[in-house]
Amino acid sequence: RKEVEQDPGPFNVPEGATVAFNCTYSNSASQSFFWYRQDCRKEPKLLMSVYSSGNEDGRFTAQLNRASQYISLLIRDSKLSDSATYLCVVRNTGFQKLVFGTGTRLLVSP
Amino acid sequence: DTGVSQNPRHKITKRGQNVTFRCDPISEHNRLYWYRQTLGQGPEFLTYFQNEAQLEKSRLLSDRFSAERPKGSFSTLEIQRTEQGDSAMYLCASSDSQGAGQPQHFGDGTRLSIL
């Protein structure tokens, strides 16, 4: 079992739709949580950090449930430019390395 | 451009050859990381430096792989006697050590193809 699990998708949605991605992690020592975005054949780019209280950045909302070891990302009013792979990422206590999920692919169509 | 810089962008080589990649981190970042990514997978951690000290190494980093950061600035990753399975994107990232949970910022990567 992978340490960070994501549905690989793809999720096909029309422009303007709301879409949610989920991610689970298995290590209870996970301390920091992030969503990264990766375009095809490009490097991962930080989308947002995820905090226990939940946080929002424009059309993007991230939630963390430590008890269930579950992270979510909600994208409202999807744009064509949101088409990408979204990587769920954790960092465990005492380590600096990031542990990535396999990513969830999103395709937004006109 | 003050981001993480990697070169070369692409490297094609024959099996058995040695290759070396370079990474220049964001200038004020003292932490530097190497990851490897294959098609359809997320990046996998290889190794981590704080300044010139190599503090974490993955089991993925076999004895054919060596990484250095001699002056605590740029880093090199060398693969000796390359194998087909080494074909991947090699990503470098850097971060600040101030505070907890500092995000890592990635370079464009070096895409390695083994013939």
- Residue B100: the pLDDT is 60
Tokens of A100: 């990535």
SS3 B107: coil
Q: Which residues from A are below 8 Å from B44, CB to CB?
A: 100
pLDDT < 50 regions, chain B: none
Beta bridge partners, A105, equal: A85
Q: Does B60 contact chain A (CB < 8 Å)?
A: no
- Residue A14: the pLDDT is 97
Amino acid B19 reads V
**C-beta of residue B55 within 8 angstroms of C-beta of residue B46:** no
**C-beta of residue A70 within 8 angstroms of C-beta of residue A57:** no
Q: Which one of B40, B42, B48 has the shortest CB-CB distance to A87? A: B42
pLDDT < 70 regions, chain A: none
- Residue A1: the pLDDT is 81
- Residue B72: the pLDDT is 86
- Residue B99: the pLDDT is 63
Cβ within 8 Å, pair B42-A95: no
Cβ within 8 Å, pair A44-B106: yes
B44, HSE (Cβ side, Cα atoms, 13 Å): 15
Cβ within 8 Å, pair B43-A98: yes
- Residue A85: the pLDDT is 97
Which residue numbers of A have CB closer than 8 Å to B's CBs?
4, 8, 31-32, 34, 41-46, 49, 87, 89, 91, 95-103
- Residue B1: the pLDDT is 54
Residue-wise DSSP of B30-54? -EEEEEEE-TTS--EEEEEEETTEE
Q: Which one of B42, B45, B50 has the shortest CB-CB distance to A97? A: B45
Torsion (CA) A12, A17, A20, A21 in degrees, nearest 10: 30
